[in-house]
Amino acid sequence: MSTSPLCAESSATRQRILNLDLTRLFCMFFVVMVHVSAENWYFDPVNSLSWNVYNIYDSFSRFCVPVLFMVSGALFLREDAAFSIKKLYRHNLPHLLIPLLFWATCYKLYVWLGPRSAFFTTVSAAPLGYVHLWFLYALIGVYLFIPLLRKLCTNQKTERYLLCILFGYAFFHAILGCIPPLSGVLTQLDAWSGLGASSMCYVGYFVLGHYLVTYGLAHKLQRTLYFAAGGSILFVVLATALHSNLTGAPVEAYYSNLLPTTFLPSCAVFLFFQSKFRDLRLSDSVQSLVTRASKATYGLYLCHFFVLIGLDLLGLNTHTLNPILSVPLIVAATYVISMALSLLLARIPRLGRYIV
């Protein structure tokens, strides 16, 4: 009988994976927060209380996707990971592609046949399935680089140099996008270089997760990072509100995952979990529950928009109550229902393992 790679890992490695499981569970809550905040963000007046509440919740939550890339990088690029190109193409990539095709088809069927909800505009605007599935397309692209990245990420100086190149280009690209007279340069820049800034940025976050787990950050620098992260979130809230009020329409440029103001909170959240939960000890039963819930976050991500649509059709949306209360309540309900649905779907004989 073959031994599971997880069972064969050392206690220290299992502890590190527990930290990453907790990080993933935390971030997935804020993925839902971003999508709930966006429900009426595009439609409410930018000078209204509700829109500003959505803006605050959304600005605070933008670390979630970069940190998910960092978690994946920390797992795939670690030296003791059981990795092979054969496993990548026979297991890891199909585990992204098959659910992507299944859920993209389901969401498109909803566009054609389903009842309209507040999320319909978002669904119909996504050419390749529902709008949140972009994450899987991006992750597939990053996965293709894993064999090369594992070779490059064996030396701290080389890895640091790689991070400087990836994020330097991504930051330059994103900052140009926030300056209207220069934003038109972006298309030409990508055409000349043949490199998409988003692709480089997400590869960068993938590598950064491994770097921070492996080398960490000095305690004084980490404290400074927390303050910088708080300042970054405040800047995003104010810049988005001011720019939107000047134009009279929502401006989402400052939410970009490529900006330093998203990079800093992402690093802060990731390092917080790595430092605060490094020595956490749980019973075997609780740790098993955390592991199971963490694995279910993939299905949660895939199906949670259907849960949001269902709640909206039942009359539960960000307009139901004061948005200060409605947003977190809907997020919590969606998170719990989607988690349960993911666990149930995984139990479907033969099919479950392929769709979540």
Query: Tell me: the pLDDT tens digits for 114-146?
Result: 777 666 555 555 555 567 888 998 899 899 999
Indicate whether 206 pLDDT > 70: yes
Q: What is the pLDDT of residue 88?
A: 95
How many other CB atoms are found less than 10 A from the CB of residue 299?
Answer: 22
Indicate whether 3 pLDDT > 50: no
Contact criterion met (CB below 8 Å) for 50 and 318:
yes
Q: What is the pLDDT of residue 210?
A: 96
Looking up tokens 């939960």, which residue turns up? 277
Contact criterion met (CB below 8 Å) for 33 and 327:
yes
Region 137-164: mean pLDDT is 93
Confidence of residue 183 (pLDDT cuts 50, 70, 90): low
For residue 26, CA distances in Å to 67, 119, 255, 273, 300 come to 10, 24, 19, 10, 13
Cα 42 from Cα 344, distance rounded (Å)? 33
**Is residue 58 classed as helix, strand or coil in its secondary structure?**
helix
* pLDDT one-digit tens code per residue, 11-58: 545 555 889 999 999 999 999 999 999 989 999 999 999 999 999 999
**Is residue 250 classed as helix, strand or coil in its secondary structure?**
coil
Indicate whether 236 pLDDT > 60: yes
Here the tokens at position 256 are: 């970009």
* pLDDT one-digit tens code per residue, 65-90: 999 999 999 999 998 888 899 999 99
Give CA 239 to chain center in angstroms: 22
3-state secondary structure string across 301-342: HHHHHHHHHHHHHCCCCCCCCCHHHHHHHHHHHHHHHHHHHH
Residues 6+ apart with CB under 8 A from 72: 139, 142, 206, 209
pTM: 0.90
Region 280-297: mean pLDDT is 91
Measuring CA to CA, which residue among 10, 14, 71 is closest to residue 291? 14
Cα 24 from Cα 290, distance rounded (Å)? 10
- Helices of type H across the chain: 5-8, 11-37, 49-61, 64-76, 85-87, 93-113, 120-124, 134-143, 146-152, 156-177, 180-183, 185-193, 197-215, 219-247, 260-276, 284-313, 323-346, 352-355
Here the tokens at position 114 are: 């389903």
Give CA 52 to chain center in angstroms: 23
Measuring CA to CA, which residue among 331, 261, 319, 322 is closest to residue 59? 261
* pLDDT one-digit tens code per residue, 259-273: 899 999 999 999 999
Indicate whether 8 pLDDT > 70: no
